[in-house]
Structure 1
Amino acid sequence: MRHTTRTAVMLCAALGLTAAVGPAAATPAASPPAARAASVRQATAPVLVDCFWHARVRPGSFVLACGDGNSRLVSLHWHSWGAGSARATGVNVVNDCDPYCAAGAFHRYAVTVKLDRPQPWKKNPRVQHYSRITLTYPGDRPDQFGRVVTYPLWN
């Protein structure tokens, strides 16, 4: 009888311990897939999508005019790259298209670059991409450009 009582007490203790530990261990696995995906999305900074639909992080150059290459950013030095925005300095190389683009000359302009408005990328909705670029010219700029110009970025 004494052996049976001791066995019953040990079984009850083991079951109590399992009940206490079981739910705590199961909690991470119980997170819904959408919550896990959102946390992954938040942990990864957005990307910059180039003309060839490649995701880039802190690229050294970037083509703004995909059709003809008449405007591109070069010598980019990134000062920040975060969840909400990215900032760099560099050079905007722009064709003056005078008298027409094929015969035009390229000119270089110092520029600061800001990327922002991250959104899900259509090619891979789990990845955020910057959807807007703002260029600020601290000195000279192309004749047809304002001191600050903002463009939507492709998705």
Structure 2
Amino acid sequence: MARLTINGTVQTLDVPPETSLLNALRDELGLTGTKYGCGLSQCGACTVHVNGDAVRACQTYVRDLGDARVTTIEGVSGPVADAVRAAWLEHDVAQCGYCQPGQIMQAIALLTRQPNPDDAAITAAMNGNLCRCGTYGRIRAAIRSAARMLSLATEGAEP
């Protein structure tokens, strides 16, 4: 038995300790927003937050989580998440959409740590998240827009 806090709710899971967080989320809890991509932690489709850090759920195991707080695309909230979502829509980022939950979770983690990243920081943070449709230019533009929205909100101005 594992007790995990997922999206703010304590969940008890009857899974073997070697179960990946991805499988626990999708198969046990029905949280299918986190996607299976490569299973090797190389594509980023399965990105979630563990204690606020972006991690790959396919290579994170239930046994290693302890009392960690896990946030999925279904549960992410707050001003940074709102700004990223709005920017994603503004820049029409999603094409097929499969990678987008992981892209969004990675972008939120970046902007939470670094509210005004330059292009090099965006590239470094987003480098492990692949998009088969090639929307990288729109992803970068959306992250810049979200950073501007957050900056304006911090200054008390309307975005």
TM-score, scaled relative to structure 1 = 0.22
TM-score, scaled relative to structure 2 = 0.22
Which entry has the higher C-alpha Rg, 1 or 2? 1
More helix by share: 2
Of structures 1 and 2, the one scoring higher in RCO (CA 8 A, sep 6+) is 2
